[in-house]
Amino acid sequence: MTAARWRRYATGYAFILPWILGLTFLVAGPFLAAGYFSLCEYPPLKDPMYIGTANYAELLADPAFGRALGVTMLYAAAAIPLGVLLAMTLAMLLNARIRGQAFYRVIFYLPHLVPTVVVAILWMWIFNPKAGLLNFVIARLVAAGDWWTGHFFNVAALRAGKLALAGSGAALGWLAIAPLLGVATWGSLARRLWPHQNSRLRQLVCLAAILAIILAALPLISAALHTLCPVDMQKLRSPGWLTDGDPMPSGLPGAPSWALWSLIIMSMWGVGQMAVIYLAKLQDVPAELYEAAEIDGANWWRKTLSVTIPMISPVILFNLVMAIIGAFQIFAEPYIMTGGGPEDKTRFVAMFVYDQAFRYHRLGYSSAVAAVLFIIIIILTLVAFRVSRKHVHYSGR
Amino acid sequence: MRGVHFILAAVVLAVVTVAWLEPRPEVADFDPATDAAYKDTWSKRVHITYWEKWGSFEAEAAQKMVDAFNAAQDEVFCHYIRTSQVDRKAMLAIVGGQPPDVVGLWSDNVAPFAEADALMPLDDLMAAAGLGDDHYIPKYLEMCRYKGRTYVLPTAPVSTALFYNIDHFQAKAAELRAAGLDPNRPPRTIDELDRYADVLTVKDPDGTPVIMGFLPTEPGWYNMAYPYCFGGGLFDANGNPTPDLPANVRAFEWLKGYATRYGRENTTRFREGFGNFDSPQNAFIDGKVSMVLHGVFFPQFIDRHRPALRYGVAAFPCAAGVAGPRSFLTEDNIGIPRGCKNPEAAWKFVLWTQRRGLEILNRLQGKHLPLTGVPDGFRMGHPNRFVQVFEDLAKSPEAFIIPTSVVWSEYRDEFNRCFDHIWQWQPPADQLEGVTGAARDEKVRRLTHDEIVRTLGRMQATIDQKLRRKLQRLDQRKARAPT
């Protein structure tokens, strides 16, 4: 090997040396040590005593661990898809060519920069059932909804029988969902109905129609929900949020508690970071693909499904994997906001690990829990990669 | 390429130089007390660090105690360091080999710290200094011991009592009299407590309480005390866990009665309107709850936020037939971590606190003394005018403590979870379908009773299992230890 090559190698290794040292002593070392400690009884200040797989056997029979794992799974199952969906929607909106685009991007990213403890305390106030902002807004919405519902039913009852009302309600409900799926559907419908009108008038008529249908459908949807889940609808008027351990929806055994929903809602606060990553990839999608799709007659919804999502799928996978890891490591927010309560309904696995190590002084047992948590994350990540093989498209290949 | 090497080398050199030149922090750097009074003896003294949990005026009181120690002798200088979550940080510091010389803990910490060998036993030092058992109110000393050895000594004792709002009693005097109750005295039995609470409670037309006569979950710190007021308890005389005693079931039925009577949702919502403990929005200080179970320190907080509040203090009521007065005792304590740098100087400080310091500390913190002999003048002009009540309660033969146990942390968490569960639990709607009136009430009562028995039974099984496993591991360790 020539001297020049040696120098090149030496320089390269010099650059990565700090990282290698950090990985070895701060990550790999403790990681391996924790693996060994998980096979030991290890109170602080005493030598670890090897006990084989006893900690793992205890873990399987520990109801508190089962509860913590269940809570974490529920949280992940709800927060990850919601977060990915919301971040993607946000990114698509931020990708639109509108005035003040940079301002909006900054605004949506800002929450991610707020320290976790500050966010937790802020949301504790937002969720306060008595003085919180959320219940204040809900109370006003419910009051407006009540007024409108009463008004609607009075008007409707004068003109039609209850049966006809229920039938039209179901139809209107479906029609109300349509605009949520894609305004473009309405746009193309309007284009067919009024091909000669100018586009602005068409848009206005379209918007008015959507609003009218939503207003008409809302009371009926509300009535249906009140019939199907009266307890939840009653609670929705002023939820107890972090203090309520009841499942929501109440009829569904094993559903997340109101307190857990609060944390799920709060987790949406930080989707700005995910959205920025989506945005970077969205801007990388070649415009000619959209042009080609338009020539083929694709509407907005079809372009999203067939062009946008496949093109950004590597980033979706990345965000999904990061979200899985993040969801299984959530600690600070529930620790500050609920302390695991009510009734352990927000005690996550990471909190369980902390309690075992620092409150009960069981370092061996807590290492075993951490090892199990690691295995779960690895399995879920591998599943995500496995599933992604068919659905993720890398443009370079 | 040469430039890159040069930059890397320069950065490394700069870091090493800065680290080398940075002066080592000295303990004296952290202390403002380098004034003239200590100028001559400063360098001759042994400097010790004392980590303690208190904040606010309680920290000032502890600092005054430390100042008095520093002024009283010229061999040791104690540096008071206010430390939140002191137990967890102290354990980490002890494990890391850099413990403070003295640490202030809670009574709950004694067993886990002693079991981990994190504290120095003090028995020999106490015997040499002539500090005998008779110096202390027995239950306060009992909380300092684990497996017969003393690991800490008491600093600030806490006995608990019923606080009642005199203005609320007077405002409802007529209604109380009509209900056969005396508005000029607090309740003496649990039954009376319930009746007072019903009369004193004021509700909105929608049923949401505006004032509650009594709310067992406020402040929520002493939930484990209620079973004792029914003749039950969490441990038997041998220290074995007994959460499912019939008396405990009765206590939980009584507690659940409040959730049922006033509505679980309503009481939860009502609680959300309370402010922090140390604030004018504290439920009792703000006049939202008329009666609470609280500790000896509470009057100081009332005086801070609402000095004009007219309130009284009495023993918390017991159920009919249960001997009293009963008070739940806990304490703050002081110990010497194993591996500290100056154990002898630390013991000098600890010993001084027990002979002179406690008087300063507890007077300024508004608490009674954990000692059998109270110095003349301690009670005179004491900031807590109910100090005698609390002292008498602490000395009552029926006063109770949580015995030092290796599983207490887990037990307490499990207890609180079960408490939450019972408070939140509601009878399944399908089981009450078609049942009305008295039959419905009876069915609700029966279902609630069954649920409580089930929950406490599960708690018993869980804690028994944890204790068994813990003891098994301790035996295993003992068997493997080199002889």
Query: A336: domain CATH number?
Result: 1.10.3720.10
Q: Name the residue among B167, B252, B174, B255 with its Cα closest to residue B211.
A: B167
| Residue A323 reports pLDDT greater than 60 | yes
Q: Is position A245 within any domain?
A: no
Between A153 and B247, the higher pLDDT residue? B247
pLDDT tier at A175, thresholds 50, 70, 90: low
State which H helix or E strand residue A49 sits in.
Answer: strand A49-50
Tell whether A152 and A201 lie within a shared domain.
yes
Tell whether B54 and B142 lie within a shared domain.
yes
**CA dist B254 → A176, B92, B227 (Å):** 51, 41, 10
Peptide linkage before A249 cis (omega within 30 of 0): yes
Q: Name the residue among A107, A93, A138, A105 with its Cα closest to residue A262.
A: A138
Residues within 8 A of A (CB atoms), B 210-229 only: none
Tell whether B264 and B410 lie within a shared domain.
yes
The mean pLDDT value for A75-84 works out to: 94
> Contact, B329 vs B399, CB < 8 A?
yes
Q: Do A7 and B1 touch (CB under 8 A)?
A: yes
Between A176 and A325, the higher pLDDT residue? A325
What b-and-e string marks burial along B27-53, b requiring 16 or more CB atoms within 10 Å of the CB?
eeeebebeeeebeeebeebbbbbbbbb
Using CB atoms, which residue from A11, A45, A246 is nearest to B1? Answer: A11
User: In this structure, which amino acid lies at residue A88?
Assistant: M
Dist. CA B158–CA B370, nearest whole Å: 9
Burial (CB < 10 A; 0-12, 13-18, 19+), residue A228, is exposed
Which residues in A lie closer than 8 A to residue B480 (C-beta atoms)? 49
Dist. CA A230–CA A224, nearest whole Å: 10
For A175-189, B15-29, B398-412, which range has the lowest pLDDT when averaged over its residues? A175-189
Tell whether A118 and A142 lie within a shared domain.
no
Q: Is position B165 within any domain?
A: yes
| Residue B424 reports pLDDT greater than 60 | yes
Q: Is position A246 within any domain?
A: no
What's the pLDDT at B2? 64
Tell whether A212 and A322 lie within a shared domain.
no
Tell whether A269 and A291 lie within a shared domain.
yes
How many of the other CB atoms lie within 10 Å of CB of A46?
A: 15
What's the pLDDT at B120? 97
User: Of the candidates A214, A238, A262, which is a domain's last residue?
Assistant: A238
Peptide linkage before A342 cis (omega within 30 of 0): yes
Which residues in A lie closer than 8 A to residue B338 (C-beta atoms)? 45
Tell whether B373 and B226 lie within a shared domain.
no
Which residues in B lie closer than 8 A to residue A355 (C-beta atoms)? 413
Q: Name the residue among B34, B33, B28 with its Cα closest to residue B48.
A: B28
Q: Is position A311 within any domain?
A: yes
Using CB atoms, which residue from A41, A246, A355 is nearest to B477? Answer: A41
The mean pLDDT value for A366-375 works out to: 96
Tell whether B346 and B412 lie within a shared domain.
no
| Residue A351 reports pLDDT greater than 90 | yes
| Residue B271 reports pLDDT greater than 80 | yes
A48 part of contact set with chain B, CB < 8 Å = no
Share of chain A above pLDDT 90, in %: 49
Q: Is position A278 within any domain?
A: yes
Tell whether A284 and A392 lie within a shared domain.
yes
What's the pLDDT at B267? 87
- Looking at every residue in chain A, the average pLDDT score rounds to 85
pLDDT tier at B399, thresholds 50, 70, 90: very high
Q: Is position B13 within any domain?
A: no
Tell whether A396 and A287 lie within a shared domain.
yes
Between B214 and A207, the higher pLDDT residue? B214
**Count of domains forming chain B:** 2
A50 part of contact set with chain B, CB < 8 Å = no
Tell whether B299 and B365 lie within a shared domain.
no
pLDDT tier at A216, thresholds 50, 70, 90: confident
Residue with tokens 């003394």: B369
Joined tokens for residue A169: 């309600």
Tell whether A121 and A138 lie within a shared domain.
no
Residue with tokens 């379209």: A206
What's the pLDDT at B457? 97
Dist. CA A123–CA A312, nearest whole Å: 32
pLDDT tier at A152, thresholds 50, 70, 90: low
> Contact, B226 vs B258, CB < 8 A?
no
Tell whether B164 and B256 lie within a shared domain.
yes
The mean pLDDT value for B321-332 works out to: 94
Which residues in B lie closer than 8 A to residue A346 (C-beta atoms)? none
Q: Is position A244 within any domain?
A: no
- What residue numbers bound the domain in which B240 lies? 160-328+403-469
What's the pLDDT at A227? 78
What's the pLDDT at A139? 86
Joined tokens for residue A205: 């008529």
Q: Do A129 and B8 touch (CB under 8 A)?
A: no
Tell whether B343 and B252 lie within a shared domain.
no
Q: Is position B15 within any domain?
A: no
- At a CB cut-off of 8 Å and minimum separation 6, what does A114 contact? A122
3-state secondary structure at position B307: coil
- Tell me whether strands A40-41 and B202-203 are parallel, antiparallel or unpaired: unpaired
CATH of residue B164's domain is 3.40.190.10
What's the pLDDT at A238? 82
Question: Chain A: residue nearest B474 by CA?
Answer: A41
B410 part of contact set with chain A, CB < 8 Å = yes
Which residues in B lie closer than 8 A to residue A361 (C-beta atoms)? 91, 112, 116
User: Of the candidates B379, B395, B411, which is a domain's last residue?
Assistant: B395
For A238-242, A274-278, B139-143, which range has the lowest pLDDT when averaged over its residues? A238-242
B5 part of contact set with chain A, CB < 8 Å = yes
N- to C-terminal Cα separation, chain B: 63
Dist. CA A380–CA B382, nearest whole Å: 63
User: Of the candidates B395, B422, B447, which is a domain's last residue?
Assistant: B395
| Residue A182 reports pLDDT greater than 80 | no
The mean pLDDT value for B19-35 works out to: 62
What's the pLDDT at B29? 58
Peptide linkage before B219 cis (omega within 30 of 0): yes
What's the pLDDT at A174? 58
pLDDT tier at A159, thresholds 50, 70, 90: low
User: Of the candidates A12, A31, A56, which is a domain's last residue?
Assistant: A56
The mean pLDDT value for B373-392 works out to: 92
Tell whether B336 and B296 lie within a shared domain.
no
Q: Do B268 and A238 touch (CB under 8 A)?
A: no
| Residue B245 reports pLDDT greater than 90 | yes
Residue with tokens 């002023």: A238
DSSP A251: T
Q: Which of A147-151, A202-206, B7-11, B185-189 has the highest mean pLDDT?
A: B185-189
Tell whether A276 and A384 lie within a shared domain.
yes
Q: How close is the nearest chain B Cα to the Cα of A271, in Å?
A: 29
Tell whether B320 and B334 lie within a shared domain.
no
Taking only the tens place, the pLDDT of each residue in A109-144 is 888 889 999 999 999 999 988 788 998 898 888 888
| Residue B31 reports pLDDT greater than 80 | no
3-state secondary structure at position B279: coil
What b-and-e string marks burial along B441-462, b requiring 16 or more CB atoms within 10 Å of the CB?
eeebeebbeebbbebbebbbeb
- What residue numbers bound the domain in which A365 lies? 63-129+252-397
Tell whether B56 and B176 lie within a shared domain.
no
Between B237 and A148, the higher pLDDT residue? B237
Tell whether B190 and B313 lie within a shared domain.
yes
What ipTM did this prediction achieve? 0.85
pLDDT tier at B39, thresholds 50, 70, 90: confident
Using CB atoms, which residue from A11, A243, A344 is nearest to B268? Answer: A243
Share of chain B above pLDDT 90, in %: 75
Task: Judge if pTM exceeds 0.90.
Answer: no
Q: Do B116 and A361 touch (CB under 8 A)?
A: yes
Tell whether A385 and A296 lie within a shared domain.
yes
Tell whether A125 and A141 lie within a shared domain.
no
Tell whether A125 and A263 lie within a shared domain.
yes
Q: Is position B476 within any domain?
A: no
Q: Is position A50 within any domain?
A: yes
Residues within 8 A of B (CB atoms), A 122-141 only: 128-131
Tell whether B74 and B121 lie within a shared domain.
yes
pLDDT tier at A176, thresholds 50, 70, 90: low
> What is the DSSP track for A255-285?
PPBHHHHHHHHHHGGGHHHHHHHHHHHHTTS
Work out how many CB contacts closer than 8 A connect A with B: 77
What's the pLDDT at B324? 79
Joined tokens for residue B155: 């600093």
- Tell me whether strands B152-165 and B289-295 are parallel, antiparallel or unpaired: antiparallel
> What is the DSSP track for A154-219?
HHHHHHS-HHHHHHHHHHHHHHHHHHHH-HHHHHHHHHHH-TTS-HHHHHHHHHHHHHHHHHHHHH
What's the pLDDT at A146? 80
- Tell me whether strands B152-165 and B329-335 are parallel, antiparallel or unpaired: antiparallel
Q: Is position B379 within any domain?
A: yes
| Residue A202 reports pLDDT greater than 80 | no
**Count of domains forming chain A:** 3
For A141-155, A271-285, B278-292, which range has the lowest pLDDT when averaged over its residues? A141-155
What b-and-e string marks burial along B181-199, b requiring 16 or more CB atoms within 10 Å of the CB?
bebeebbbbbebbbbbbeb
Q: Name the region of B148 (left: φ>0; alpha: ψ -120 to 50; beta: rest).
A: left
What's the pLDDT at B204? 87
| Residue A241 reports pLDDT greater than 80 | yes
Which candidate in B218, B276, B473 is best for mutational testing of the A interface (most A CBs within 10 A)?
B473
Joined tokens for residue A286: 């070649």
| Residue B32 reports pLDDT greater than 80 | no
Share of chain B above pLDDT 70, in %: 96
3-state secondary structure at position A82: helix
Q: Do A45 and B117 touch (CB under 8 A)?
A: yes
Dist. CA B98–CA B95, nearest whole Å: 8
Tell whether A43 and A181 lie within a shared domain.
no
pLDDT tier at B483, thresholds 50, 70, 90: low
User: Of the candidates B395, B420, B435, which is a domain's last residue?
Assistant: B395
Peptide linkage before A310 cis (omega within 30 of 0): no
What's the pLDDT at B327? 97
| Residue A24 reports pLDDT greater than 90 | yes
What's the pLDDT at A57? 95
Dist. CA B101–CA B78, nearest whole Å: 9
- Looking at every residue in chain B, the average pLDDT score rounds to 92
The mean pLDDT value for B409-432 works out to: 91
How many of the other CB atoms lie within 10 Å of CB of A204?
A: 12
| Residue B182 reports pLDDT greater than 80 | yes
The mean pLDDT value for B137-148 works out to: 95
Which residues in A lie closer than 8 A to residue B269 (C-beta atoms)? 129-130, 238, 240
Q: Name the residue among B351, B390, B395 with its Cα closest to residue B367.
A: B390
Residues within 8 A of B (CB atoms), A 215-234 only: none
For A363-377, B92-106, B466-480, which range has the lowest pLDDT when averaged over its residues? B466-480
> Contact, A221 vs A233, CB < 8 A?
no
